[in-house]
């Protein structure tokens, strides 16, 4: 058998990793050195050369998108259908295991996944019931508390706290929240992992079964595993299974969400793997690599790696200092157009930013120029309100005890069921240990609600009933169609919203029918005996949680730095490189978090293959306020000789004109506080021209924004 194609295009160290004979392995290597490639080739090697059954391999990576790519690459290398392979994310794999063993861990077999927005609503609801003040315990923080403890494997009873302390309140909420989830058959993301760990830990026969099954466990992006994920790996590895772990400590960027880079050290301690380092980078030009290496060098406590490349020097990194965020967006889009004019494709380009909200200006500019784009990590399809509404109806049809779904749509479309009525149903449910659906049914039957409210609630229950009976048993798309038609969602949105918004929602609902029509039940779900509807609901929740786009198209990619991990693009923009934005304000005071921001910068820079732009804006509107900020410290960490600077000409839209630039006219720099005899106090927001022609724009507290000729304005600097 000819297996040379599995080793072609691998360097010596890569080949050594792919063909390693015994024991565990750790490939610790920098960005673009071929870690993911090695892992894919390893899978193919094991199957083809060692005749390892595809069923006894387990490969884990960080996103569904990465898992899909991995699956495709293995399939192509071996020319097989990769259906039976267990390649997925930790969450996906745990979901699959729980579906097969729901009863053993006390879950109903109709359990549904709670995405993080649903979770937030449920936390608030629980807090309302416990009459806990939201200003004292912000629900987002409580949600974080719950997830943090779950990620560390702790149930409420295992959290140390003093009676009546602040912490004890949060534990109480956690407990109550958990009770709700149990009763309604809901499982949040952290719970997927925790339950699976409990399944394997507490059921020796299950543990033995899976240990015997997965002879080879391969993990990509290991530096971002959390405590539970590592516990799971240990449980599955047992004594005899082989681990193949790849990662890069310099790319650990999820510490804020519980990832523990110490897992690399724990792995060394617990498994004594052979260590292989890959040092050649195949992705980026020498300039880009050198710049990224210099930036990450500013971190202490690194495991230490050096990367080199045989690639060419390449173009300098281009730094653009925009006058404001609008100009930054225009500049970026103009450079993408240049790229396309030069023969490049839209999908070669990626705009990366620190926070989601930054996408909007780029989206607008792209729309204006009619360039196709896709936003990863924005409000995706399954997160949109109308889709979640329709899904809630489907969930209730599937499981009438789903309280989250009940709450979402009991009065959507509005049917005259007020908060007070819902409160009474909640109380009844609590008092009798029932789901909201059960409580409502009982109250309606017993006349336990006022006449008007009673008939409205009765109408809602009847609708759910009708939908359930009308739905063809096996036809998923048919069920979705019935929901869209009979619930009146479209008409309701039309009544409440401007025509274009309502139209978009209607289109989205039609798209949901199409999604259902095109839904292929995953092989593993089918094997687990899951109904098509249940698979569809789970898939939607998993996708909504991950913020990934569904289809690949030739379009510009917009995404946060976090979601760019593992990917590569010929043309990359790192936008909004400003102190306070990136590094993020919250991280500036804490050295540990600042180091994580720097790793994020390293991840961002190393996504670029050929051309890298770094941009920042001197001013930016947030919440209707103009904020001024200094360029990010990370920009100063790039060696000057690798950078070519491009200055803004200060006025929006004039980036290409050659108007002279006013540097800092007599101390009246951008952001300076000034006083004018007539207009009063204000802030300098713009400068233009030089010498006698210098003009200055000031935003006055009382008089609003004014352009003044500096020479005549008689402005006073205010300390």
Q: Which residues bind ligand ATP (CB under 6 A)?
A: 9-11, 14, 29, 31-37, 248, 251, 282-283, 566, 568, 606
Site for Mg ion in 114-173 (CB under 5 A): none
Q: Which residues of 456-468 are buried (b: 16+ CB within 10 A; e: fewer)?
A: bbbebbebbeebe
**Secondary structure (3-state) at 41:** helix
The span of 29-37, 82-90, 120-128, 224-232 binding Mg ion (CB under 5 A) equals: 29-37
- By the 10 Å C-beta count (0-12 exposed, 13-18 middle, 19+ buried), 568 is classed as middle
Does position 61 bind Mg ion by CB under 5 A?
Answer: no
* C-beta of residue 115 within 8 angstroms of C-beta of residue 538: no
Contact partner at residue 575 from Mg ion, ligand ATP, none, CB < 5 to 8 Å by partner kind: none
CB of 129 to ligand ATP, least distance (A): 45
CB 243 within 8 A of CB 268: no
Annotated active-site residue 36? The verdict is yes
CB atoms < 10 A from the CB of 103, how many? 9
Spot the catalytic one: 115, 191, 221, 348: 221
- State in angstroms the smallest separation of the CB of 36 from Mg ion: 3
Active site residue 160: no
To ligand ATP, the closest distance from the beta carbon of 416 in angstroms equals 54
Q: Which of 112, 225, 251, 560 is catalytic?
A: 251
In whole angstroms, the minimum distance from the beta carbon of 714 to ligand ATP comes to 56
**283 or 401, CB closer to ligand ATP?**
283
Q: Is 220 a catalytic residue?
A: yes
Q: Which of 119, 96, 91 is nearest to 535 (CA)?
A: 96
Shortest Å distance, C-beta 571 to ligand ATP: 15
Which of Mg ion, ligand ATP, none is residue 9 near (CB under 5 to 8 Å by kind)?
Answer: ligand ATP
List the one residue from 156, 185, 566, 576 that touches Mg ion (CB under 5 A): 566
Using the 8-state DSSP alphabet, how is residue 2 labeled?
-
Look up 221 and say whether it is catalytic: yes
| Tokens coding 380 | 């995706």
Return the number of the residue (63 or 487) whose C-beta is nearest ligand ATP. 63
Going by C-alpha positions, the residue among 256, 212, 217, 257 that lies closest to residue 233 is 217
Output the six-digit token pair for 90.
């930790």
Question: Which of 388, 379, 386, 363 is CA-nearest to residue 501?
Answer: 386
Q: Name which of 11 and 455 has its Cβ closer to ligand ATP.
A: 11
* Cβ atoms of residues 38 and 17 within 8 Å: yes
End-to-end CA distance of the chain: 80
The least distance separating ligand ATP from the CB of residue 35, rounded to whole angstroms, comes to 3
Which residues are CB-neighbours of 134 under 8 A, at least 6 positions away? 124, 127
Backbone angles phi, psi at 643, to 5 degrees: -110, 140
Cβ proximity to ligand ATP: between 185 and 566 the closer is 566
Q: Which is nearer to ligand ATP, 35 or 195 (CB)?
A: 35
The residue (of 31 and 351) whose beta carbon lies closer to ligand ATP is 31
Residue of 169, 607, 620, 633 marked catalytic = 607
When CB distances to Mg ion are compared, the closest residue is 36
36, 178, 434, 560: the active-site residue:
36
583 touches which of ligand ATP, Mg ion, none (CB within 5 to 8 A by kind)?
Answer: none
Q: Which is nearer to ligand ATP, 31 or 635 (CB)?
A: 31
For ligand ATP, the closer of residues 9 and 465 by Cβ is: 9
Query: What is the C-alpha separation between 630 and 670, in angstroms, rounded?
Result: 11
N residues, the chain: 719
* Rounded-to-integer distance, Cα 8 and Cα 137, Å: 58
State yes or no: is 589 an active-site residue. Answer: no
- DSSP calls for 508-530: HHHHHHHHHHTPPPPHHHHHTT-
**Residue 36, interface with Mg ion (CB under 5 A)?**
yes
> Residue 127, CB half-sphere, CA atoms under 13 Å: how many?
22
Q: Report the nearest approach of Mg ion to the CB of residue 214 (Å).
A: 22
DSSP assignment letter at 653:
T
Continuous H helices in 300-402: 325-341, 359-368, 385-398
Considering the complex, what minimum distance in angstroms separates the CB of residue 312 from ligand ATP? Answer: 15
Whose structure tokens read 């006219």? Answer: 665
Work out how close the CB of 607 gets to ligand ATP at its nearest, in angstroms, rounded to a whole number. Answer: 7
364 is a catalytic site residue: no
Rounded Cα gap, residues 284 and 288, in angstroms: 6
Rounded CA-CA distance 140/120 in Å is 7
The minimum distance between CB 95 and Mg ion, in angstroms, equals 23
Residue among 146 and 246 whose Cβ is closer to ligand ATP: 246
Angle, nearest 10°, between helix axes 476-486 and 532-546? 70
Q: Which is nearer to ligand ATP, 119 or 280 (CB)?
A: 280
C-alpha closest to that of 250 among 486, 33, 467: 33
Under a CB-based contact definition with an 8 Å cutoff, are residues 232 and 196 in contact? yes
User: Does 34 engage in binding with Mg ion (CB under 5 A)?
Assistant: no
Which tokens hold the place of 20?
């390693």
Distance CA 268, CA 276 (A): 12
| Partner from Mg ion, ligand ATP, none contacting 283, C-beta within 5 to 8 A by type | ligand ATP
Give the residue numbers marked as catalytic.
35-36, 220-221, 251, 607
Binding site for Mg ion (CB under 5 A): 35-36, 566
């Amino acid at each position: 058998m000819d297996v040379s194609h599995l080793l072609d295009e691998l360097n010596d160290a890569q080949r050594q990793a792919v063909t390693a004979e015994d024991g565990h392995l750790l490939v610790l290597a920098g960005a673009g050195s071929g870690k993911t490639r090695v892992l894919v080739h390893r899978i193919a090697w094991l199957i083809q050369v060692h005749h390892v059954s595809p069923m006894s391999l387990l490969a884990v990576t960080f996103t569904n998108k990465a898992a899909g790519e991995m699956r495709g690459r293995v399939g192509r290398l071996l020319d097989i259908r990769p259906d039976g392979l267990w390649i997925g994310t930790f969450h996906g794999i745990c979901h699959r295991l729980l579906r097969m063993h729901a009863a053993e861990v006390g879950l109903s077999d109709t359990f549904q996944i709670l995405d993080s927005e649903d979770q937030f609503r449920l936390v608030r609801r629980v807090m309302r019931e416990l009459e806990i003040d939201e200003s004292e315990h912000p629900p987002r923080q409580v949600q974080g508390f719950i997830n943090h403890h779950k990620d560390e494997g702790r149930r409420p009873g295992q959290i140390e706290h003093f009676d009546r302390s602040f912490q004890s309140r949060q534990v109480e909420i956690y407990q109550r929240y958990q009770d709700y989830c149990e009763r309604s058959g809901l499982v949040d993301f952290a719970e997927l992992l925790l339950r699976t760990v409990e399944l394997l830990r507490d059921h020796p026969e299950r543990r033995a079964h899976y240990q015997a099954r997965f002879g080879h466990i391969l993990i990509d992006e290991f530096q971002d595993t959390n405590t539970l994920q590592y516990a799971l790996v240990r449980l599955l590895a047992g004594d005899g299974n082989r681990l193949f772990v790849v990662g890069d400590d310099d790319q650990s960027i999820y510490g804020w969400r519980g990832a523990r880079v110490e897992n690399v050290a724990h792995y060394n301690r617990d498994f004594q793997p052979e260590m292989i380092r890959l040092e050649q980078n195949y992705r980026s030009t020498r300039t880009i690599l050198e710049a990224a290496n210099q930036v990450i060098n500013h971190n202490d406590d690194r495991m230490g790696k050096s990367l080199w490349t045989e690639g060419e020097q390449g173009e300098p990194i281009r730094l653009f200092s925009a006058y404001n965020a609008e100009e930054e967006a225009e500049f970026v889009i103009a450079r993408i157009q240049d790229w396309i004019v030069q023969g490049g494709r839209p999908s070669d380009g990626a705009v990366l930013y620190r926070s989601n909200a930054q996408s909007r200006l780029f989206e607008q500019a792209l729309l204006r120029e009619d360039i196709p784009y896709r936003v990863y990590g924005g409000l995706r399809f399954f997160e949109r309100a109308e889709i979640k509404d329709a899904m809630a109806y489907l969930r209730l049809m599937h499981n009438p005890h789903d309280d989250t779904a009940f709450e979402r749509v009991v009065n959507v479309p509005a049917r005259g069921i007020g908060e007070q009525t819902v409160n009474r149903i909640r109380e009844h449910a609590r008092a009798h240990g029932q789901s909201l659906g059960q409580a409502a049914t009982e109250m309606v039957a017993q006349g336990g609600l006022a006449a008007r409210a009673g008939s409205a609630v009765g109408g809602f229950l009847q609708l759910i009933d009708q939908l359930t009976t009308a739905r063809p048993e096996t036809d998923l798309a048919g069920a979705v169609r019935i929901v869209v038609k009979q619930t009146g969602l479209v008409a309701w949105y039309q009544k409440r919203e401007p025509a274009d918004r309502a139209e978009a929602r209607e289109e989205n609902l039609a798209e949901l029918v199409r999604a259902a029509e095109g839904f292929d039940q995953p092989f593993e779900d089918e094997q687990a005996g899951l109904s098509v509807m249940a698979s569809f609901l789970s898939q939607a929740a998993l996708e909504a949680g991950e913020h990934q786009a569904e289809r690949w198209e030739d379009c510009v990619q917009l995404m946060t730095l976090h979601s760019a991990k593992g990917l590569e693009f010929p043309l990359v923009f790192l936008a909004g490189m400003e102190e306070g934005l990136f590094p993020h304000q919250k991280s500036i005071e804490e050295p540990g978090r600042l180091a994580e921001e720097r790793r994020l910068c390293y991840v961002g820079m190393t996504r670029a293959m050929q051309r890298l732009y770094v941009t920042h804006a001197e001013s930016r509107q947030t919440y209707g306020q103009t904020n001024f900020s200094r360029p990010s410290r990370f920009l100063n960490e790039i060696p000057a000789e690798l950078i070519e600077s491009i200055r803004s000409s200060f006025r929006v839209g004039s980036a290409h004109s050659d108007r002279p630039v006013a540097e800092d006219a007599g101390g009246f720099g951008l952001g300076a506080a000034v006083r004018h005899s007539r207009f009063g106090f204000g802030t300098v927001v713009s400068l233009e021209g030089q010498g006698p022609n210098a003009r200055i724009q000031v935003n006055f507290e009382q008089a609003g924004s004014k352009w003044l000729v500096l020479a005549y304005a008689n402005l006073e600097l205010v300390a």
